[in-house]
């Protein structure tokens, strides 16, 4: 009993620390001159970002990175590893984190404009209703649309089928200085042929090595790759489907094929398990994120994005012209 009381007290202290850190961040955001946000020195931005990261008990990039012990079919999809706060804390964290992502994304775009090849690709995968669209909406709610590209991949079109399976993917990759989000990706061209037997195993299994080489080349060329699988439970998906069916504004998001996929749930889990085993590499690892609590999966992706941008260690590009001369010319008008 004494041990239980001690653990509860420790948890309450940690929760208080989280709220205190979040409150400091919100105070800073409220009282800062918004006109300085874009020109804020990078040191201050990184300091705030590091403080936000300290809210986590452990880095989700470490906790959720795929390894041989991760079994998708046995996961607790309602867990919140590394984040001891509640839903309200998570939402406040996302808002503040988005602010810092905006500053870091502006820095990335500025570097791309002067020749840097640094860029970022976020790949979101998951079963239907796992929350991919919600992550895009919430995490990027405060980001400057200049320098952001979003693309959703569906079934290949007749034109796309005339090319190799990566042709349509290459067309949507981020340009230097840009961030691109893929809602589904090249991995659909492994999982779907496997489930529905549209290609023989020799074809879709042969794509594993092609994708590994493709992603290694991207990273070597300056593109950070974040691959996230939103792991939702079948029961959570059922509840979300019912909500869609009961909401006329969301009927368009539902298709009878979604129910067909539910009937093959174990096959999908096996397919994705093999995808992780074959394509989670040191340069482009998979992160398997519990997604029954959407606020948590959004917080995780926000943390990963901000941490990745911060890790690029970019600086504001220096002027390549004579600043004093430019000022004098303007003053003499």
User: DSSP characters for 82-139?
Assistant: T--S-HHHHHHHHHHHHHHHHHHHHHHHHHHHTT---EEEEEEEESTTSSHHHHHHHH
Backbone angles phi and psi of 260, in degrees to 5: -60, -40
At 35, the pLDDT band (50, 70, 90 cuts) reads very low
Q: For helices 2-31 and 42-53, give the axis angle rounded to 10 degrees.
A: 160
Q: How far is CA 86 from CA 15, 93, 98, 131, 286, in A?
A: 9, 11, 18, 19, 26
Most confident of 3-7, 140-144, 228-232: 228-232
Q: What percent of the chain has pLDDT over 70?
A: 86
Which ranges of the chain would DSSP assign to H, the alpha helix?
A: 2-31, 42-53, 60-63, 87-113, 132-139, 158-161, 167-170, 188-196, 201-204, 207-220, 234-245, 256-263, 265-279, 294-311, 323-331
Going by C-alpha positions, the residue among 191, 185, 140 that lies closest to residue 166 is 185
Considering only 89-98, 108-117, 121-130, which range has the smallest mean pLDDT?
Answer: 89-98
pTM recorded for the entire structure? 0.88
The pair of three-digit structure tokens given for residue 42, joined into one six-digit string: 């990078």
Supply the pLDDT for residue 22: 55
């Amino acid at each position: 009993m004494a041990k239980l009381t001690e653990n509860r007290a420790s948890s309450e202290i940690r929760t208080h620390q989280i709220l205190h850190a979040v409150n400091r961040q919100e105070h800073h955001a409220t009282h800062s001159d918004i006109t300085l946000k874009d020109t804020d020195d990078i040191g201050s931005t990184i300091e705030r970002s590091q403080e936000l990261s300290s809210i986590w008990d452990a880095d989700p990039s470490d906790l959720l990175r795929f390894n041989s012990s991760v079994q998708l079919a046995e996961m607790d999809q309602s867990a919140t590893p590394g984040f001891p706060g509640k839903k309200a804390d998570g939402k406040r964290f996302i808002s503040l984190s988005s602010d810092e992502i905006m500053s870091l994304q502006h820095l990335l775009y500025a570097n791309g404009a002067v020749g840097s090849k640094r860029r970022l690709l976020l790949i979101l995968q998951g079963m239907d209703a796992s929350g991919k669209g919600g992550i895009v909406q919430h995490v990027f709610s405060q980001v400057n649309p200049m320098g952001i590209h979003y693309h959703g991949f569906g079934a290949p079109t007749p034109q796309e089928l005339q090319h190799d399976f990566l042709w349509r993917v290459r067309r949507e990759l981020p340009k230097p200085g840009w961030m691109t989000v893929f809602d589904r990706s090249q991995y659909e061209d492994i999982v779907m042929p496997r489930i529905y037997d549209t290609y023989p195993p020799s074809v879709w299994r042969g794509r594993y090595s092609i994708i590994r080489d493709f992603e290694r080349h991207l990273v070597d060329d300056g593109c950070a790759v974040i691959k996230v699988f939103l792991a939702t439970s079948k029961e959570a998906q059922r509840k979300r489907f019912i909500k869609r069916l009961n909401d006329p504004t969301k009927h368009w998001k539902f298709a009878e094929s979604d129910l067909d996929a539910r009937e093959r749930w174990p096959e999908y889990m096996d397919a994705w398990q093999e995808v992780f085993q074959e394509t989670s590499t040191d340069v482009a690892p998979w992160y398997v994120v519990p997604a029954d609590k959407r606020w948590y999966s959004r917080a995780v992706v926000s943390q990963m994005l901000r941490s990745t941008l911060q890790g690029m260690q970019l600086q504001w590009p220096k002027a390549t012209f004579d600043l004093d001369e430019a000022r004098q010319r303007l003053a003499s008008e």
